Amino acid sequence: MQKKVLIPTKLDAIAARLLEDSGRYIVAQDAATDLLQLAAQHPDTYALIVRSEKVTAEVIDALPQLKVVVRAGAGYNTIDTKYARKKGIDVMNTPGANSNAVAELAIAMMLADARHLVPADQSTRAGEWEKKKFMGKELSGKNVGIVGLGNIGRLVAKRLQGFGCNMYGYDPVISNERARDMGVELVDLPALFSRCDFISLHMPENEDTRGIVNAQLLANCREGATIVNCARSGVVVEEDLRKIKQDKQLHFLNDVYDADKAGPKSCSDIAELMLPHLGASTFEANAKAAQRAAEQLIDLDTKGITSFIVNRDIPEGLAEEYCDLANMLARLCRCLVGAKCPLKLVETSFYGELKPFGDWLMVPIVAGLAEDFDRTMDYQSAREYLDEMGLEYVNRDVDDDKGYGESITVDLTSEIDSDNLRHISIRGTVTEGLLMVARINEFHKLYFEPQGFTVFFLYEDRPGVLGAIGNALAKHGINIEDVRNPHDQRTNRSLAIMKVDQNVTEDVMKLICSEIKAISGFSIKL
């Protein structure tokens, strides 16, 4: 019996054609009627394929036979994924379908601004002939910085190779080897902003990246640099750009906003070029997303391929707390090994009854390492991601005779420079429902609960350091709620872990690290 697929959107016809040609489905496509009305007309719908339509609990309840929702695109925030899971409905997306479209748009924006195409067109249409006024510049030979070397950033680099640019990149996950293969030199963000004539942003917006392009970073820009934002509006502090833009003669090209809707835009006074979020708006991207949506639905039904399900059930026998533990250990390990150092090797150990779930737990670990990898993806997607970033992954055999119970160890190796590596190892477990860090490198028996605002300082052991840290925090109105301060006699080093009542800024951390001559120090919200 054929299953009904409802497509309530203007999606390329290839989706309906592929589904019908398979002989397994009948398709109803209607972009003009309200989704709730369509649901009432098609209560026998088995699968929905949507774009930006809101799939609410009300819509789900109106489709009693619904089993699959496919978002023809990457973002799925318009779908109530939790309610869908409660109803036994799989939600899938099609990540990467629009990557080339966004990459090409970023380069098109660079070229349009460099050659003044928009104002030159307007001037010429008005009967003017202003060749001198619109003297431009070439991309060839220029330094181009790419912030974020995921799917889109890598395509930007590939497309720019033909222009003969010198390319610099920043991405805290990708290996040096993979970046070199792309013709990109990895540098830190201040160096990238100081060296580059064009800077293209391609990172997600989250707690770590929100406001990352701020006054401190913009102050590094060379005069006349161009910043292209095809990422998310929140990664740029517009007020900081507003203050520094004229002095540095910066150009700002923008395709992303707080909301995709008509009306005044907050960056209109500082942007040389503004587009209505055209990144994914190509016929090819639409067709690719439609094709992938249909193929993924067919593969799910015929081959059981679940790679793109974003609301998976946790397998029977695995407590959700251990998924959170794996993610937290990876995040913490990433900070300790150096958040800005390129990674080289990821190693894991799953002890006790966690061993059979190693593939599953690898996913939250990769999500803890990479801002642009979604925790809802599957093992195969995680392995492919690591391969794309040039990272080696090893899941080690474990010896349960060590008595670690149900615990997880995450080891990371990063590259400090071409001749030096740094290795960090963390083990954690779950006790009475609470996540616990049991060991960090040589520091054992920590039993530290990773929750809330936390600061870490590694230093050469000597009297008075802990008190100096406490006094410095107190001077800035920061209260200490919990402390762990283990000492390793072999290295004569101590580790101070302090849970505090508020965020400790980067400037305060630098002051404390300087005062206590810390080997390393960082602040994190766990």
pLDDT one-digit tens code per residue, 255-268: 999 988 899 999 99
Query: Residue 106 above 90 pLDDT?
Result: yes
Mean pLDDT, the chain, rounded, equals 92
Least confident of 11-15, 173-177, 424-428, 510-514: 173-177
Q: Contact 474/523 with Cβ under 8 angstroms?
A: no
Mean predicted confidence (pLDDT) in 155-170: 95
pLDDT of 475 strictly over 80: yes
Return the pLDDT at 418.
Answer: 64
The pLDDT of 17-30, averaged and rounded, is: 96
Determine what percent of the chain is predicted with pLDDT higher than 70.
99
pLDDT in tens, 49-62: 999 899 999 999 99
Q: What is the mean pLDDT of residues 1-22?
A: 95
Mean pLDDT confidence for 477-485: 93
> What's the whole-number mean pLDDT along residues 397-410?
89
Q: What's the pLDDT score for residue 219?
A: 94
Sign of the C-alpha dihedral computed for residues 133, 138, 142 and 148 taken in this order: positive
Q: Which of 130-144, 202-216, 337-351 has the highest mean pLDDT?
A: 130-144
- Tracing tokens 């489905």 back to the chain, one arrives at 25
Give the per-residue pLDDT at 278: 94
Give the tens place of pLDDT for each residue, 371-391: 888 787 788 888 988 998 999
What Rg, from alpha-carbon coordinates, does the chain have? 26
* pLDDT tens, residue by residue, 183-198: 999 999 999 999 999 9
What pairs with residue 50 in β-bridges? 71
Per-residue DSSP letter, 446 = -
Mean pLDDT of 446-470: 91
Task: Compute the distance between CA of residue 81 and CA of residue 310 in angstroms, rounded to an integer.
Answer: 8
User: In this predicted structure, what is the pLDDT of residue 373?
Assistant: 84
| Range with lowest mean pLDDT among 77-86, 304-313, 492-501, 506-515 | 304-313
> pLDDT (tens digit, 9 = 90+) per residue, 211-251?
999 999 999 999 999 999 999 999 999 999 999 999 999 99
- Residue 340 pLDDT level (bands cut at 50, 70, 90): confident
* Predicted confidence (pLDDT) at residue 86 exceeds the cutoff of 80: yes
Domains of the chain: 3-95+284-303 (3.40.50.720), 99-274 (3.40.50.720), 315-439 (3.30.1330.90), 451-526 (3.30.70.260)
DSSP 181-233: HTTEEE--HHHHHHH-SEEEE----STTTTT-B-HHHHTTPPTT-EEEE-S-G
For residue 337, what is the enclosing H or E element? helix 320-338
Q: In whole angstroms, how far apart are CA 506 and each of 238, 455, 462, 522? A: 20, 11, 24, 8
Neighbouring CB atoms inside 10 A of 219's CB total 14
| pLDDT at residue 43 greater than cutoff 90 | yes
Averaged pLDDT, 425-453: 90
Q: Tokens 């030096």 sit at which residue?
A: 420
- Please tell me the predicted confidence (pLDDT) of residue 419: 67
